[in-house]
Amino acid sequence: MIVRTWRGRTTSAWADAYPRHFHGNVMPELEAIPGFLGADLLKEEKDGQVEYFVLTRWASLDAIKAFAGEDYEQAVVEPEAVAALDEFDRTVRHYETVEA
């Protein structure tokens, strides 16, 4: 299994916008891709700022490429996510699961 990670940040005033987008847009798209195994959306609030940390789990690199394309280390950030976040990672990281 491969875990793909990504971060986005916003203010507390916009804290609900990204989770709505993630639940309503991102998850349905991901769930339609063969080899997608699940996702976690994590949140940390600190000093009026909110950081979201997204973990997606995949069966293979080919499954990730079906979502992200051949340049799979580039983040896939839809316009609705750009509107909801003040800043976000332009690239992602991938980790091979050693033990779960």
pLDDT of residue 49: 95
Domain housing 9 = 2-96
The single-letter code of the amino acid at 74 is Q
pLDDT tens for each residue of 43-64: 999 999 999 999 999 999 999 9
Cα–Cα distance between 70 and 100 in angstroms, integer? 27
If DSSP codes are grouped into helix, strand and coil, which group holds residue 88?
Answer: strand
Cα–Cα distance between 73 and 61 in angstroms, integer? 11
Number of domains in the chain: 1
pLDDT tens for each residue of 59-87: 999 999 999 999 999 999 999 999 999 99
Token look-up 């203010």 returns 11
Cα–Cα distance between 56 and 49 in angstroms, integer? 23
pLDDT band at 24 (very low <50, low <70, confident <90, very high): very high
Residue 66 sits in a domain of what CATH number?
3.30.70.100
pLDDT of residue 100: 87
Instruction: Provide the whole-model pTM.
Output: 0.92
